[in-house]
Amino acid sequence: MTHPFRDVAIVGVANTEQAKRLEGHTSFSIAVEAVRLALADAGLDPGAVDGAVGAMAGPLEYQLGSGPAWRGYGPANINGVTTAALAIGAGLATTVVIADGGASTYTDRAATAPWTRPENEFVMPWGMFTAAEFALIARHHMHTYGTPVEALATVAATIRNNGHVNPEAVMTGRGPYTVDDVLASPMIADPFRRLDCAINSEGGAALIMTTVERARDLDGIPVYVLGAGGDRFGPAYQHPPSWTMGGRTDLVNGYIGRRAAAQAFDQAGLAPDDVDGCEFYDPFSFEIIRQLEAFGFCADGEAADFVLGGGIAIDGPLPVTTDGGVLSYSHPGASAQMLQRVIRAVQQLRGTCVSNQIDGAEVVFASNGGAGALFCDVLVLGREAP
């Protein structure tokens, strides 16, 4: 069987400035700036775009003067990148923009960010929000495997230190952080303390995909989708985020993303050992421990020891979330920060990271979502065409 993404290449990526507040911007205007930068990165004119994915796809089609254009009805994240790759591979579009941004949306600072507290009759009366949903998953793992809070704190310190040395991170220069710093920060939703939890900020992100044929005419280094997958167990933040979801024992919600990763590695003809770095989605520290096990980088119950031994450090065997992720780099809304995992993976493979460049990275794994939200999408990206 020929590879499903053999005709597709990522040719442009861009993040705008990321900050706690970007005065004068709306979510759409900062997304447009990201698209302009990503097109410039690709060396493409706006007129080349004939497809868009994301909540802003419609306004972007109009802004870019596109049309008739193909549109993907997914968010601008790994799921959207996968949708775009399928559409390009099927010949429905040639050059697709995947973009999103957040600005001027989080103004009521007495509350947590609006995307952390979707309303539903079964979760609202219990004071649920994202930190509590993910804490229920973490607690199960800690109880089952004896996972210590020091392992969670090591994840938080490691990724936040990646942001500390990244001049483009919202939290640049705010460290360095120690495990003790994390364990001394205020409790938010036990076992998560403030430094275990994602920040919030503003910014835009965009990614351009096109055909391999068109990519040959461009100057930049193309990056290829070697494998993709996505796992879901229903709507996020409605049903109890239990580890087993109704007593299942085979593919459990606690290890959501396991099937997706196996599919992605199978498509790529690769295994976890072949990966040079991981741009994992890091909404809460524990999610990294869970993903290491779910995706097969560690055996079940063994990721805490791997983390405590320096396994995910930038100078360790498997650097994780090298720009600081949503713990430190940026979290500008509902989906741009997920696309930023893909953008960072592309920068690692092109060798263009402004900090924490992994020398000679050939294969990078990226993820979105987590067990607290009942979804997990993954990509295996590489420098060589599949």
Partner 1 sequence: MSAGSGSAPNGDPSAELRPQSNGPTPAPTPISAPYWSGGAVGELRYQWCGGCELALMDPQPACTRCLTQDLEWRVSAGVGAVASYTIVWRPPLPRFEVPYAPAIVRVDEGFDLLTNIVGCTVGEVEVGMRVSVRFVDRGDDVWLPYFAPA
Residues near partner 1, by CB under 8 A: 109-112, 116-117, 121-129, 131-132, 135-137, 139-140, 143, 186-192, 194, 238-243, 246-247
Structure tokens at 197: 């939890």
Minimum CB distance to partner 1 smaller for 130 or for 368: 130
Q: Give, in order, the Cα–Cα distances in Å from 291 to each of 106, 146, 180, 279, 359.
A: 29, 17, 24, 11, 24
| DSSP letter assigned to residue 331 | -
Q: How far is the CB of 160 from partner 1 (least distance, A)?
A: 17
Minimum CB distance to partner 1 smaller for 36 or for 160: 160
Q: How far is the CB of 200 from partner 1 (least distance, A)?
A: 10
Q: How far is the CB of 216 from partner 1 (least distance, A)?
A: 49
Query: How many whole angstroms separate alpha carbon 69 and alpha carbon 342?
Result: 24
Q: How far is the CB of 240 from partner 1 (least distance, A)?
A: 4
CB-neighbour burial class of residue 45 (10 A; exposed 0-12, middle 13-18, buried 19+): exposed
Count the neighbouring beta carbons within 10 Å of the beta carbon of residue 358: 16
Q: How far is the CB of 170 from partner 1 (least distance, A)?
A: 16
Q: How far is the CB of 110 from partner 1 (least distance, A)?
A: 5
Minimum CB distance to partner 1 smaller for 70 or for 106: 106
Q: How far is the CB of 145 from partner 1 (least distance, A)?
A: 12
Q: How far is the CB of 21 from partner 1 (least distance, A)?
A: 15
Minimum CB distance to partner 1 smaller for 144 or for 178: 144
Minimum CB distance to partner 1 smaller for 109 or for 216: 109
Q: Looking at the chain, which runs of residues are DSSP E strands?
A: 8-15, 51-53, 70-72, 96-102, 187-189, 192-193, 203-211, 224-232, 277-279, 363-370, 375-382
Minimum CB distance to partner 1 smaller for 167 or for 247: 247
Residue the block writes with tokens 């973490």: 138
Exposure letters 13-34 (e unless 16+ CB within 10 A, then b): bbbbebeeebeebebbbbbbbb
Minimum CB distance to partner 1 smaller for 28 or for 243: 243
Residues forming beta bridges with residue 321, ordered by sequence position: none
**If DSSP codes are grouped into helix, strand and coil, which group holds residue 272?**
helix
Residue whose C-alpha is closest to residue 38's, from 19, 59, 64 = 64
Q: How far is Cα of residue 27 from the mean position of the Cα atoms in its chain?
A: 19
Minimum CB distance to partner 1 smaller for 135 or for 374: 135
**φ, ψ for residue 372 (rounded to 5)?**
-65, -20
